[in-house]
Structure 1
Amino acid sequence: MLANTYNPLLVVCSLLVAMLAAYTALDMAGRIALAEGRAARYWMIGGACAMGLGIWSMHFIGMLAFNLPIALGYDPAITLLSLLIAIAASMFALWLVGQKTLPLSRLIVGALLMGPAIAGMHYTGMAAMRMRPGIEYQPALVVLSVTIAIVASGAALWIAFRLRQASGRLFLRGIASLVMGVAIVGMHYTGMAAAHFPLGSVCDAAQDGSDPAWLALVVILVTLAVIAIALIISVLDLRMEARTAVLAASLAEANKELAFLALHDSLTGLPNRVLLEDRLEQLVRGARHTKGRFTLMFMDLDSFKAVNDALGHRVGDKLLVDVSRRLRDALRSHDTIARVGGDEFVLLSDVGDAAGAAAVAQALARAIEAPFQVEGHDVRISLSIGIAIYPDNGADQEELLSNADAAMYHAKALGSGSCCFFEPSMQADVYEQMQLAHELRSALTAGEMVLHFQPKFAALSGAAVGAEALLRWNHPVRGLLSPDRFIALAEKTGAIVPIGMWVLDESCRQLKLWHCAGHVDWSIAVNLSPLQFIDDGLVQAVQDVLRRHDLPAHSLILEVTESTAMRDVDVSLAVLQQLRHTGVQIAIDDFGTGYSSLLYLKRLPATELKIDRGFVGQLSHGTEDAAIVSAVVALGRTLNLRIVAEGVETRQQRKHLTEVGCDILQGYLLGRPMPANLFVEAVRNAHAPLASTLVR
């Protein structure tokens, strides 16, 4: 037999190529498992070519490493056939591990088919040498090589299937590639060991075959290039898929967020009107089917607009968030609370009786009553609630919402923090309010707003000291409307600011006429609404109107209600100080009805306290109201404030108020509100009997 040797460098190269081919096989298996449709077929074809070339290259380099003491060569056609066998075996392997499952029976069948195919590639490649006489094989080693091929194929299939989606675990793939590479090399060199070459053997392929040295270099370079290109494409595709996955996840998250925003309020996170109407429709449908009942509540925050304008929209938004949180916390998890407007909320509850609905409404009102701490401000608001119960107060969602809204408006008319159940008569009231609100928009420009003036008298001398300007709406159909019919609407629609500015200008114009008529010691009192009080242009408007009508600033008295002044003391203090710097006088109206703190009151730059008519109306010696009036007067004296009592309607009230030390009196006993053209004569006629009574 001819003695043979091996080129150690090529042997090492064959092992490295085998490991690289194994790694390529694992990577391609992963790509095929992740791909779908046509892409999976492309990856299978490309992967089979790269993997098959790698396996064949390892075999061929191993053969090139084999040396005999004769010239060797390889038949190109047979060599190409062995390459095709390797590619076919690789494609079968990749198809097998690309399946969703790999049961033991399929694994065994696959190994029994793939192992002989790999061995067939090896022995076909050996046949490409065209030895004469033929190569003699030792049967035991041939069987061993085929067995190694089968076992190696089974192990490779199992490892590839298990690690096909382990792209992040490179260490495991490296170890698996090493094991598979050693198994492939072991099969090859076992097969080579089985070959014996008799003395005098001649390689017929040496004459017309390729040169082994040149062929080894070409095979190594081509194989490494193909495998490298396959791996690079795989890595690039994997990165692209990863980016696509990230983009897809981002898009899914964005779509989820958009879907949430489409059904929820962006500020508070509560359901919006769209989601509310959907859930309300489901409730109505379910209640019709089961003959059930449920409650719908329409809620509105009292004085929210004033807070929003006074402290800014940022504080207003944070207040809405805090309100929403309290409302959610006060309800059960299966109740629906939705924000349907700036400061409007709607509740859906499965409570079906009036007593239960009232209990829920009380819980919500209590939750809102506690002061809110918003960016250092102590904010107090209340909740007006209208309640409608299905099916008594509406047979469908539109009717329920409309009726609950009507009940809420009725609750607002009763005062802040009220709660009302719907009654049929309320719809007429709501329609009237809506009609008035519409007509109010043009009332000022149409000249329908007029002023009446109520005289004010010195308590001791009985002399007229001025008047309070009181707004009236001379409606073309409804007649003369008092402020309680439209002021709340004007505040809700924002029309109160231009109307208030008109009142200020018209009052000063009329006062100037009285001054020119000789009544230079008279003053005029003008009420400021909460919205007007916090308007940024108020101070400048006051300065402009005084300048325009050439009035001394002290002749104008601006009246601010106690609740308005105390809503946010720091803001109120800043506004009132700016007004006082203009020289006008400041009166705290309705004193005693709010939550004044003496600590804050003494800081306010007021010049006058007005005792609320509620204390004067029940005034008699020894009553609680008499004690309150006396205390207010004493407080005013201490703070060096002028005391004005309004609502004086009886001689006993006038006498008592004068005796306790009130400075100025105002009320129906002394003079009713009247147009300007009647004022001077009415004051002159009222002064004589008032003065004579005081003298007696």
Structure 2
Amino acid sequence: MDHTLHGTYDYFLVILSYLIAVAASYSALDLAGRVNNSKGKNRLLWLVFGAMSMGLGIWSMHFVGMLALTLPVKVVYDIGLVILSVIFAILVSAIALLTVTRNTLEVRQIFIAGLCMAAGISGMHYTGMEAMNVEITYDPYYVILSIVIAGTASFAALWLLFYVNRDQSRFVYLYKLGSSLIMGAAIAGMHYTGMVAAHFHSPHMTDSQEMQMGTDSLAYIIVVATFFLLGLTLFGVFINKRLSQKDSRIEENESWYHSLYENNEYGIISINTSGVILNMNPAILKIGGLRAEDFLQQPISKISTILAEDVRENTADWYNQSFGQTAKNFETTLIRPGGEKVELSVINVPVTIQGEVVGNHLFIKDITEENRVKTIIKHQADHDELTGLPNRRKFYELLNRTIEENKGETTIFAVMVLDIDRFKMINDSLGHTYGDLFLQGVSDRIVRCAEASQATVARMGGDEFTVFFQNGSGRG
């Protein structure tokens, strides 16, 4: 004759089962993000590992919840059915992770995945119940209610896993914790509703002695093992996230460096310590009219073949002298394929990793136009704009230099100063335009007269000119 068995709950284990559900939910939220951010083999490994960790966490919650119920008879469990319930939990977790790691998630997909998860969770729970060696009858109303709760929990879990995982705000951990509390409550609610649906009767007779451990001890072992597994999972997620953040920073820095390298207006040639060209940016190819394939993985000495012949030797010496812990610069001249000369400024910058020089960058700037402008400015600073003759500043510079160079020596040089009589009359009567033309004509005549003596003619200002004879020139 069957007798209905009435049990009592260990509320400590009940609370513990809820905490396990919360921990499993939080782990699932983090694992979803890890699966979503991984690719290829890493994605598959995270999916398998995540499904096992999350599944064992959910299963442990249900199993601890079952062990929280103490019946007036000794209860043992069928190992085969227990393992089957574990498989249900892992499959449910795999479905959840596969669903929420999509780039987009539609309502239809949530609905289908939620139904599959509800069926799996219910299967896990009632398979675990069936593993008990007691006869169980169920109240259909509460069974249906537990399945509905399982479905609702599944839909909520999928939505939370998908949307909370994509939140990158600074409050993401709070959102995950809140979501975990909600998901844990839903999972526990389904389990204990299913337990209310069960009515226990006399145990089945069995000869199996495979499970002799007391349920209380078994519960604590499961709790410790579960928290260890979840803790190990979260620790792995944390370490992997730190490494991923480091990789992301490295990739970001590489992107910044690559952008700077490729878009720099300076030409850049990267060379290793063996003197082999590793890379050339687009700017240097444009400056020299070069092709990268002609120089990459070639010795730096090949660059000398495109330099002006008269600067090759000096450039090689300057380059060899430019190595060190600090950047050094020099100038040289390059010949483009069309024969055009390009004047270059070169800065040799060492590349140092952990205090060791592993190569160098040559930063190269086209200074052809810059030098041309400098020459014009220098000429304008030293010459009279109207006549093109050296001006007062240039004359005194020449005079002072000649005196300094010939100190203590017997050297003859002479200075002749002349001006134009009644020049003001020309300006006043004919205007400054004709006065300027007159000055240009007079300066040309003075220069022609001084050419034979190799003298320097300078305009001091107004109608005053100076003729400088040096080294005895002009005698006789």
Using the size of structure 1 for normalisation, the TM-score is: 0.44
The letter for the 2-side match of 1:160 is: L
- Choose which of 617, 620, 639 in structure 1 pairs with 2:422: 620
Conserved in 2, the CA contact under 8 Å of 1:129 and 1:204?
A: no
Cα 1:146–1:417 change in 2 (3 A) is: farther
CA distance in 2, matches of 1:72, 1:276: 86
Do residues 85 (structure 1) and 93 (structure 2) align? Answer: no
The letter for the 2-side match of 1:154 is: F
Tell which has more relative contact order, 1 or 2 (C-alpha 8 A, sep 6+).
2
CA offset at residue 258 of structure 1? 1.7
Conserved in 2, the CA contact under 8 Å of 1:384 and 1:416?
A: no
Describe the SS at the equivalent of 1:510: coil
Do residues 70 (structure 1) and 73 (structure 2) align? Answer: yes
CA offset at residue 416 of structure 1? 7.8
The aligned runs of 1:630-669 (5 Å cut-off) are none
Conserved in 2, the CA contact under 8 Å of 1:70 and 1:202?
A: no
Tell me which residue corresponds to 1:15: 18
CA distance in 2, matches of 1:86, 1:264: 61
CA distance in 2, matches of 1:104, 1:88: 21
CA offset at residue 201 of structure 1? 3.9
Cα 1:49–1:205 change in 2 (3 A) is: farther
CA distance in 2, matches of 1:151, 1:205: 41
Conserved in 1, the CA contact under 8 Å of 2:266 and 2:365?
A: no
Conserved in 2, the CA contact under 8 Å of 1:619 and 1:625?
A: no
- Choose which of 97, 111, 114 in structure 2 pairs with 1:111: 114
Do residues 340 (structure 1) and 366 (structure 2) align? Answer: yes
Residue-by-residue CA offset, 1:242-284 (whole Å, 9 max, x unaligned): 111111111111111122335479xxxxx97755788xxxxxx
CA offset at residue 504 of structure 1? 4.5
Do residues 509 (structure 1) and 305 (structure 2) align? Answer: no
Describe the SS at the equivalent of 1:116: helix
Conserved in 2, the CA contact under 8 Å of 1:27 and 1:231?
A: yes
Structure 1 stretches of 5 or more lacking a match?
266-270, 279-337, 347-380, 386-408, 419-482, 489-495, 515-523, 527-609, 627-646, 648-664, 683-696
- Choose which of 453, 472, 476 in structure 2 pairs with 1:676: 472
Tell me which residue corresponds to 1:136: 137
Describe the SS at the equivalent of 2:194: helix
Conserved in 1, the CA contact under 8 Å of 2:17 and 2:61?
A: yes
Using the size of structure 2 for normalisation, the TM-score is: 0.63
CA RMSD of aligned residues (A): 4.3
- Choose which of 225, 240, 244 in structure 2 pairs with 1:241: 244
CA offset at residue 71 of structure 1? 1.2
Structure 2 stretches of 5 or more lacking a match?
269-281, 290-363, 429-445, 447-463
Percent identity over paired residues: 30
Conserved in 2, the CA contact under 8 Å of 1:74 and 1:130?
A: yes
Cα 1:675–1:141 change in 2 (3 A) is: closer
Residue-by-residue CA offset, 1:413-457 (whole Å, 9 max, x unaligned): 996889xxxxxxxxxxxxxxxxxxxxxxxxxxxxxxxxxxxxxxx
The letter for the 2-side match of 1:156 is: A
Tell me which residue corresponds to 2:149: 148
Residue-by-residue CA offset, 1:279-329 (whole Å, 9 max, x unaligned): xxxxxxxxxxxxxxxxxxxxxxxxxxxxxxxxxxxxxxxxxxxxxxxxxxx
Do residues 257 (structure 1) and 260 (structure 2) align? Answer: yes
CA distance in 2, matches of 1:103, 1:678: 101
- Choose which of 126, 129, 134 in structure 2 pairs with 1:126: 129
Residue-by-residue CA offset, 1:200-247 (whole Å, 9 max, x unaligned): 445748854242122112111111111111111111111111111111
CA offset at residue 100 of structure 1? 1.7
Residue-by-residue CA offset, 1:489-538 (whole Å, 9 max, x unaligned): xxxxxxx99x9968853575234xx8xxxxxxxxx679xxxxxxxxxxxx
Conserved in 2, the CA contact under 8 Å of 1:81 and 1:124?
A: yes
CA distance in 1, matches of 2:173, 2:205: 44
Conserved in 2, the CA contact under 8 Å of 1:272 and 1:339?
A: no
CA offset at residue 622 of structure 1? 6.4
CA distance in 2, matches of 1:621, 1:500: 30
CA distance in 1, matches of 2:10, 2:410: 120
Conserved in 2, the CA contact under 8 Å of 1:510 and 1:676?
A: no
Do residues 193 (structure 1) and 219 (structure 2) align? Answer: no
Cα 1:251–1:273 change in 2 (3 A) is: closer
Residue-by-residue CA offset, 1:631-689 (whole Å, 9 max, x unaligned): xxxxxxxxxxxxxxxx8xxxxxxxxxxxxxxxxx9978xxx94863984xx5xxxxxxx
Tell me which residue corresponds to 1:471: none
CA offset at residue 130 of structure 1? 2.2
CA distance in 1, matches of 2:164, 2:385: 68
Tell me which residue corresponds to 2:5: 2
The letter for the 2-side match of 1:620 is: R
Conserved in 2, the CA contact under 8 Å of 1:18 and 1:54?
A: yes
Conserved in 1, the CA contact under 8 Å of 2:56 and 2:90?
A: yes
CA distance in 2, matches of 1:229, 1:242: 20
